[in-house]
Amino acid sequence: MKLSDLKIIVTGAAQGMGAHFATRLAEAGAQVAAGDVKEDGLAALAEATAGLPGKVHTRRLDVADEADVGAFVEWAHGAMGGLNGLINNAGILRDGLLVKKDRTTGAITKLSKEQWDAVIGVNLTGATFMVRDVVAKMVATEQRPGVIVNMSSVARHGNRGQSNYSAAKAALAANTTTWMREFGAYGIRVGAVAPGMIETPMTQGMNQKARDALVANIPVGRIGLPEDIWVAVKFVLECDYFNGRTIDVDGGLAM
């Protein structure tokens, strides 16, 4: 699809990669419905993109709230006069070892249900309901073609301290293939991009020792930037022969 033809939802759009994607799309003339729980970030995005060829529409969105997802999709369709795309970007971290023994006291701590549920609720359940409701709207309105980009992660291969995050991102990669098979009859493609270590507010909040160790293992010698990931997202959006696959964009990182 041509970027200028897109009427597309971007979740997690208030900062980081989501804000970058929304900006790049608006620069190309697309209409974007940008959602996030951070309303101040959405306001800043709207202001920053006001003079661009495309249009960024903003509204609060909590992807972990099923009713909010449905309402946002309906709003986005009305605001943009249609809907033919989704970048499924919203995500959070609640890292922790599944089981940890304190080296000094011997005390055992376990990953809490709250940590598990929070990440699965946003990164998997919320992402899944976004796809479900966006595709339902496309099918109901007989929109063809359509395209979905799921944001997975190199962590889907497994990463210490990220049982919840790895599980969610692995499931998104697997369901990218599942949904390709389910939605092909409706003219909807589904692809995924799996970033490695990217400079965003989320990774800036990581433990510095863990962050430094990860960067040291990136063969290209640097942390990634949102623009690096945008190049891959743009490819998925534009290449009508790309479907059902996940692209790793990680600088060669081996976790």
* pLDDT number for residue 255: 63
* pLDDT number for residue 250: 93
Give strand pairing partners of 100.
109
* pLDDT number for residue 254: 67
Catalytic residues: 165
- The chain-wide mean pLDDT, for the chain, equals 95
For residue 47, tell me if it sits in a domain: yes
Residue type at position 52: L
Residue type at position 92: I
Give the span between the Cα atoms of 58 and 14, in whole angstroms: 9
Give the span between the Cα atoms of 198 and 203, in whole angstroms: 7
For residue 233, tell me if it sits in a domain: yes
Q: How confident is the model at residue 120 (pLDDT cuts 50, 70, 90)?
A: very high
For residue 95, tell me if it sits in a domain: yes
* Residue 249 phi, psi (nearest 5): -130, 90
The DSSP call for residue 185 is: G
* DSSP H or E segment with residue 213: helix 208-216
pLDDT digits (tens, 9 = 90+) for 211-255: 788 788 899 989 999 999 999 999 999 999 999 999 999 999 866
Strands 108-110 and 146-151 come out as unpaired
Structure tokens at 245: 């696959």
Residue with tokens 């980081």, as numbered in its chain: 16
Residue 188's CATH number:
3.40.50.720
Residue 82 CB burial class (10 angstroms; 0-12, 13-18, ≥19): middle
Give the span between the Cα atoms of 20 and 204, in whole angstroms: 16
For residue 22, tell me if it sits in a domain: yes
For residue 255, tell me if it sits in a domain: no
Number of domains within the chain: 1
From residue 190, give the alpha-carbon distance in Å to each of 5, 14, 83, 126, 176.
17, 23, 15, 17, 6
pLDDT digits (tens, 9 = 90+) for 149-205: 999 999 999 899 999 999 999 999 999 999 999 999 999 999 999 999 898 887 777
For residue 194, tell me if it sits in a domain: yes
Question: Percent helix, strand and coil across the chain, each rounded to 5?
Answer: 50, 20, 35
| pTM, rounded to two decimals | 0.94
Q: Is the dihedral of CA 153, 159, 161, 163 positive or negative?
A: positive
For residue 254, tell me if it sits in a domain: no
pLDDT at 25 over 90: yes
For residue 92, tell me if it sits in a domain: yes
Q: 234 is in which domain, residue-wise?
A: 3-248
